[in-house]
Amino acid sequence: MRRIEHLAMIAHDMGVIFEFLGIVTLVPFAVLIFYQEWDLLIPMASAPLTFLLLGYLISRNPRSHSATRLSVALVAVALTWLAIAFVGALPFILGMHMSFTDSVFEAMSGWTGTGFTVMASLDTAPKTILFWRSFMQWIGGIGVISFGIAMLSRSGLTQYQLYRSEGRSEALMPSVVSTGRRIWGIYLALTAIFTVVIGIWGRVPLWDALNLVMVTLSTGGFSLHNAGVSYYNSATLEALLIPIMLAGAIPFKVYFFLYRGNFGKFFRDPTVRLIFALSIIVSLVVSLNLFVFNDYTLTLAFRQGFFCTISGFTCCGLQNSTLQWLALPLVLIMLLMMIGGAAGSTAGGIKVNRVILSYEGLVWWFKRFFVRGNVIVPFKHEGKNIPGNISELELSKNLLIIILYVLLIFVAAVLLLHPGGALFAPYQVIFELVSAASNVGLGVGYLTPFSPWTVKWVFVLLMWIGRLEIIPVLILVMGAVRGFEAATSG
């Protein structure tokens, strides 16, 4: 079967998702009308119209009732995320007259929830464009595929394959559609609650509060101002944003425990406990390092240390410091960025769940060295005994993702550690590469609006590949060269 025929198997559902994106991207028009920025009417209309046109053309394909290969779903998701970056770039090209490279960069950073920006000035940018950036991060944080599936009226194998391919494999409900809708209900509720909290106790205008919550809960990190969070010069606001970052980085399934009043089960969840523990411990170490070795006052050290560490760990990307620190605190934050938040959250990175699984696998592996050859040592995960053949397969897949992630950073570092980056130490360049691949957005100043176009495209690829957890892009490349039949058996 030819490559196009493979993709045609799920073209209808992908087209429906584009159509829904076309509808939802009309939301920024409310901001355009409120602030009467009529000159942006055509630029802002370009994105929803393009989504609707693409959706209409693609969804005209007859709906497939045959079994869909997982490899095809992986490729479809990879192409979808690439397509939305190009479509999302249109308002920047037409409305801000940014270059094609900068526009795609900004859109990819937005949809993937990364937070790096190459816009020359945020303080003078139109309100509608600023909201478009925040809105992309808010939608992209929970996943454009999960959004589209939540709007579909049916649940089947195709939707399930697409859902898995975007890294949303948590089985909360029997129906994938039901799962998507429940998650979006939680997401909307949290956005509304936190906006009220930030507006009242953070003492910022509603406009700022809404945008801050959208980019923080989605662990995106876009800012309304050139100075970022430092623009507000408010320790109270920064303290209020920290729990919102953590809320976006923990798995959304645990909110069902809170909804049902089961607080004990919430705090017994291993991913939640590890996220909280690492956040506190590493933040303390970073803060003390800033106080002792960077000559910060104790108050400033803890304010910047806790905020930037947790922002990096949760993959949010907001920062209240230029991060011109000594190597150790940056290396610690870099390790946390590599780990990232939990699976089933808005965060990026390798995911805490994989760290836990790797630790359990390591313990299981060493236990088998100290027993007799005929003794079977069960592998336990989440209190359950997992059969040996399944556990070895899952551990291998888990390790594969981690290895590919490290190789991705290595290749990017080889490409960018050249004389042009001589103003920065290697660990600073690698820090930003990890930040891009984990969809964080924390930066030390290496990437700027004036960076070479080659550097920007390396970052675009890192953000795209990192958001999809590498495998879909790898399958896309292999499928394009060898065909999907040869690339994987699905």
Q: Which helix (H) or strand (E) holds 381?
A: strand 379-381
**pLDDT number for residue 187:** 87
Q: Is the pLDDT of residue 485 over 70?
A: no
Mean pLDDT of 43-71: 81
Question: Could you give the CA distance from residue 248 to residue 262 in angstroms, rounded to a whole number?
Answer: 19
**pLDDT number for residue 8:** 64
- Say which residue, 343 or 159, is predicted with more confidence: 343
pLDDT digit string, tens, across residues 370-382: 776 667 777 777 6
The overall average pLDDT reported for the chain is 85
Nearest to 64 by CA among 17, 26, 13: 13
Neighbours of 114 (CB within 10 A): 34
**pLDDT number for residue 155:** 38
Dihedral in degrees, nearest 10, Cα atoms 314, 318, 324, 330: 0
**pLDDT number for residue 484:** 55
pLDDT band at 292 (very low <50, low <70, confident <90, very high): very high
Neighbours of 28 (CB within 10 A): 24
Q: Is the pLDDT of residue 126 over 90?
A: yes
Q: Is the pLDDT of residue 181 over 80?
A: no
Question: Could you give the CA distance from residue 111 to residue 88 in angstroms, rounded to a whole number?
Answer: 8
pLDDT band at 450 (very low <50, low <70, confident <90, very high): very high
Q: Report CA-CA distances (Å) from 136 to 21, 130, 323.
A: 11, 10, 26
Q: Map out the domains of the chain as residue ranges.
A: 1-169
- Tell me which of 71-80, 85-94, 173-182, 407-416 is least confident: 173-182
Q: Name the one residue in this structure whose structure tokens are 């992986």.
A: 74
Global pTM reads 0.90
Nearest to 444 by CA among 319, 356, 353: 319
pLDDT band at 435 (very low <50, low <70, confident <90, very high): very high
Mean pLDDT of 291-304: 95
Question: Could you give the CA distance from residue 75 to residue 359 in angstroms, rounded to a whole number?
Answer: 31
H helical segments located in 64-143: 70-88, 90-95, 100-111, 127-142
pLDDT digit string, tens, across residues 310-320: 999 999 999 99
**pLDDT number for residue 419:** 55
Q: Is the pLDDT of residue 121 over 80?
A: yes
Q: Is the pLDDT of residue 145 over 70?
A: no
pLDDT digit string, tens, across residues 185-230: 888 999 999 999 999 999 999 999 999 999 999 999 999 999 999 9
pLDDT band at 488 (very low <50, low <70, confident <90, very high): very low
Nearest to 457 by CA among 436, 481, 428: 436
- Say which residue, 485 or 116, is predicted with more confidence: 116
For 138, phi then psi, to 5°, come to -65, -45
Mean pLDDT of 480-485: 65
